[in-house]
Structure 1
């Protein structure tokens, strides 16, 4: 791309979204950031501009579960930057309870946010990419997507598996076009969403995790477990080991 890359990130007010905003600002990208918490977005925008004065940052309040707003906000941010080169579908939540334990509302909220809202984001992004005949869709899944997970993680893992399958279907659809699709499967990266996890082996801090995510995105990989060590190996083990073994490991 001859111009500065224009990157849109959802869920950018905290966690991986905020970390990726810092990573891509350092790489000189123009940024379109959206999230529910406008006050945090404004603070992030001001901090990014202070550290990187030449970095253009536009923001918009967005609840991704408002599907109509997703299409409107993506267009608004695209117009503000003169187009989008990359959209990172990152917004998500980690609520959950064991199935049948009375936590249906939490599980439903997780599935609606992590999958149905992600579908809306992918639709809005690819619609724009098709119109301009170029673009890079990035979908943030999770290593929990590799297998069914017990307990409070069951619905979360299922939602992340669904969004990974969605991304693969889009990749197949767009195979012979200039539009690329990347699916990333982060391992345990220290953010608010996993702050209460009692068992989080090989966890890395947000800066290290987001640096690895950004590097994989820039390489344009189709799929990757992040960080590659040790999650590439762990991800393979999760896919191959019997469920009775997997449930004891997780």
Structure 2
């Protein structure tokens, strides 16, 4: 009896992979047998991450490229370069995780339009460019898994410094839902929206301590990666306490929402 041919590992492309949730996703996906295409602005950190992953998992393929997602032409160039590199090995880009983003912002009308504009440009327009580039690849190969990293804050309009940030995260969630609606009859296309709650990361505050509402980077990312590999359509993570918190946020009176955040 002939042994079955081993199934090739999946290839996952992650943006914003040089630190925080993106870097930890890369570590955990590599541990689960995924090959990786990693991009971010800080190439020295990407190189360090690649060295770390290959030391732990020498059988993996890890490709890295510089990318600033605010350079929209570069988004398409980098995604296509990854596609061509893996195609040369007879492989496809199976999954794209739209993760790159920033968290700065200010209450509207307080003279910090620059901060809110930058948040909108990176988190929404940059995510739109990444989604366009990913779907260009997936449509050409007739299938793939798009993962959008949104936020629990997308469930409701948020006050003060979170207003613009939450709006961008709601926007990317709707981009994904629009695609899911369009491709509903084509199961070879999978669309996931991940809504993380408070997770310690470089963007949030790496010096915070884990607690009921603040998950460690490892625990929070494990919940994200579990949802990704299970190809969940839409999920708030970690499930406790963020599944019930997200449900409450959607219906709570505005006064309560203001107190919650």
Quickly name the TM-score band, shorter chain normalised. Answer: over 0.9
Question: Residue 69 of structure 2 aligns to a residue in which SS?
Answer: coil
Gaps of 5+ in 1: none
2:202 and 2:110 mapped to 1: Cα distance? 24
Q: 1:202 pairs with 194, 200, 213, which one?
A: 213
The equivalent position to 1:225 in structure 2, one of 223, 236, 244, is 236
In the alignment, which residue of structure 1 is the partner of 2:198? 188
Query: Which aligned segments of 4 or more residues in structure 1 are displaced greater than 3 angstroms?
Result: none
SS across alignment from 1:175: coil
Could you tell me which of 171, 189, 198 is aligned with 1:179?
189
Asked if 2 retains the 8 angstrom alpha-carbon contact of 1:188 and 1:201, the reply is: no
Structure 1 position 28 matched with structure 2 position 33: yes
TM-score (norm 1): 0.97
Q: CA deviation at 1:201?
A: 5.6
Whole-Å Cα distance in 2 between the matches of residues 3 and 60 of structure 1? 23
**Residues 209 and 80 from structure 1, CA distance in 2 versus in 1: closer, same or farther, beyond 3 angstroms?**
same
- How far 1:197 sits from its partner (Å)? 9.9
Q: Identify which of 74, 80, 86 aligns with 1:81.
A: 86
**2:248 paired with 1:237:** yes
Q: Structure 1, residues 145-182: CA drift from partner, whole Å, max 9, x if none?
A: 11111111111111101111111001111111211000
Give ranges in structure 2 of 5+ residues lacking alignment.
Answer: 1-5
Aligned with residue 248 of structure 1, among 226, 234, 259: 259
CA distance in 2 between partners of 1:72 and 1:196 (Å): 32
Matched residue SS, 1:193 = coil
Query: Structure 2 CA distance, aligned partners of 1:197 and 1:142?
Result: 20
Number of corresponding residues:
250
Q: 2:69–2:75: 8 Å Cα contact kept in structure 1?
A: yes
Q: How far does the alpha carbon of each residue in 1:55-79 deviate from its partner, in whole angstroms, 9 at most, with x for none? A: 1100000000111110110010111
How far off its partner does 1:128 sit?
A: 0.6
Q: Which position in structure 2 is the counterpart of 1:133?
A: 142
Tell me, in whole angstroms, the C-alpha distance in 1 between the residues paired with 2:246 and 2:51: 38
Could you say if the C-alpha distance between residues 196 and 106 of structure 1 is closer, same or farther in structure 2, counting changes exceeding 3 Å? farther
The structural deviation recorded for 1:2 is 3.4
Q: What secondary structure is seen at the aligned counterpart in 2 of 1:97? A: coil
- Matches of 2:80 and 2:206, distance apart in 1: 36
Q: In the alignment, which residue of structure 1 is the partner of 2:105?
A: 96
Give per-residue Cα distances to partners, 1:174-222, cap 9 Å, x unaligned.
1112110000000001001111899x86101111111111111111110
2:51 aligned with 1:41: no
Larger CA Rg, structure 1 vs 2: 2
Equivalent pair of 2:13/2:38 in contact (CA under 8 Å): yes
Match for 1:106 among 106, 111, 115?
115
Secondary structure in 2 aligned to 1:220? coil
TM-score scaled by length of structure 2: 0.93
Determine which of 48, 57, 63 is the counterpart of 2:62.
57
CA distance in 2 between partners of 1:150 and 1:209 (Å): 24
